[in-house]
Amino acid sequence: MKPLPATADMTLMTDIAKKTSADFSNSFDFLTKDFGMKIYSESYSTVGGDKYVRLLRNQFVQIELAGDQNYFHCEIRRLINGETRPYSDSDNNIGFESLAVLKTNNNYNHLDFYPASVGWQNVLDNTANLLKTSKEVFTTNNWVDTAAIETLKEKEFEKKFGFKPDKTKTTFFGLIKLHGAKLLLDKGFEQTFDNSDFPPYNSESSTLKLAFEKGENKVTIAQRDWRDFYTCYFIDINGKKVFELDTAKYADTKTPADITIAELDKLTG
């Protein structure tokens, strides 16, 4: 991602990035006019599309807008002593659709925020309206009720899979990162990739992924898909998928993690 100061010469950007920048200015002008926010930084990248990113902040939150006319994301990040917390801190960082979950009691249409379904401009308009209905979140110390968001998501999970998700602090992938990583490191592997704290709009952050290398051997542990198969994880060795597991089939996180780590141990000798 190539960083640009807020006053940079916009002619340096691609036409798509410049169009996206202009669209953000038109659709989200209320952030500066009504919410007291200022542009903190801008950036763009031609890797994986001409994605343009704009960060705005006031004393309470930082809003990150990212898009390329076909993709859009808005991340809302609480400022603590003027600083953001890591993206993995779900108590202090939420995506715009999590806000929609809260504002609608999880009765909203995901496609309303998906450019391929309703069009780029409609997504911007829908997001702008969503943010406007939550002005207190952006202009006061009244941060989002993240516990309520998680409860609503858990209810949806239970409705879909028939049981409640494990509410322990350590997630399945958290256990893999803790114990699976140690297993490989103890075997002489070097960790070469971990995208758990990449921005959500980074092209490599859509699915959780860890990679390790030892000589010519490369081991990848990753989530299968972020949308339809987000509970499925697999092990890939040297470009070949050798194991897959669906965590939704288990009522806890430890059991599938133990199975996966045991398989990882067997596959890596």
Residues 185 and 112 in one domain: no
**Of 104, 139, 161, the domain-final residue:** 161
Structural domain includes residue 108: yes
Residues 122 and 141 in one domain: yes
**Of 161, 191, 214, the domain-final residue:** 161
Residues 202 and 237 in one domain: yes
Report the range of poorest mean pLDDT among 45-54, 142-151, 185-194.
Answer: 45-54
Residue 181 exposure: Cα atoms within 13 Å on the Cβ side: 16
Query: pLDDT averaged over the chain?
Result: 90
Residues 153 and 185 in one domain: no
Residues 35 and 142 in one domain: yes
Domain of 151, in residue numbers? 2-161
Residue 14 exposure: Cα atoms within 13 Å on the Cβ side: 17
Residues 99 and 195 in one domain: no
**What pLDDT, on a 0 to 100 scale, did the predictor assign at position 11?**
59
Structural domain includes residue 167: no
Structural domain includes residue 125: yes
pLDDT in tens, 214-247: 999 999 999 998 777 889 999 999 999 999 999 9
Structural domain includes residue 137: yes
Q: How many domains does the chain have?
A: 2
Residues 135 and 177 in one domain: no
Mind spelling out the 3-state secondary structure of the chain?
Answer: CEEECCCCCHHHCCHHHHHHHHHHHHHCCHHHHCCCCEEEEEEEECCCCCEEEEEEECCCEEEEEEECCCCEEEEEEECECCECCCCCCCCCEEEHHHHHHHHCCCCCCHHHHCHHHHCHHHHHHHHHHHHHCCHHHHHCCCCCCHHHHHHHHHHHHHHHHCCCCCCCCCCHHHHHHHHHHHHHHHCCCEEEEECCCCCCCCCCCCCCEEEEEECCEEEEEEECCCCCCCCEEEEEECCEEEEEEEHHHCCCCHHHHHHHHHHHHHHCC
Residues 91 and 71 in one domain: yes
* Pairing label, strands 232-237, 72-78: unpaired
Residue 193's region, left for phi above 0, alpha for psi from -120 to 50, else beta, is beta
Residues 72 and 137 in one domain: yes
Q: Return d(Cα 13, Cα 160) in angstroms, integer.
A: 44
Residues 23 and 98 in one domain: yes
**What pLDDT, on a 0 to 100 scale, did the predictor assign at position 169?**
54
**Of 114, 142, 161, the domain-final residue:** 161
Structural domain includes residue 263: yes
Residue pair 15/48 in contact (Cβ under 8 Å)? The answer is no
Mean pLDDT of 49-53: 83
Residue pair 67/26 in contact (Cβ under 8 Å)? The answer is no
Residues 187 and 246 in one domain: yes
Structural domain includes residue 166: no
pLDDT in tens, 137-161: 999 999 999 999 999 988 887 787 7
Structural domain includes residue 155: yes
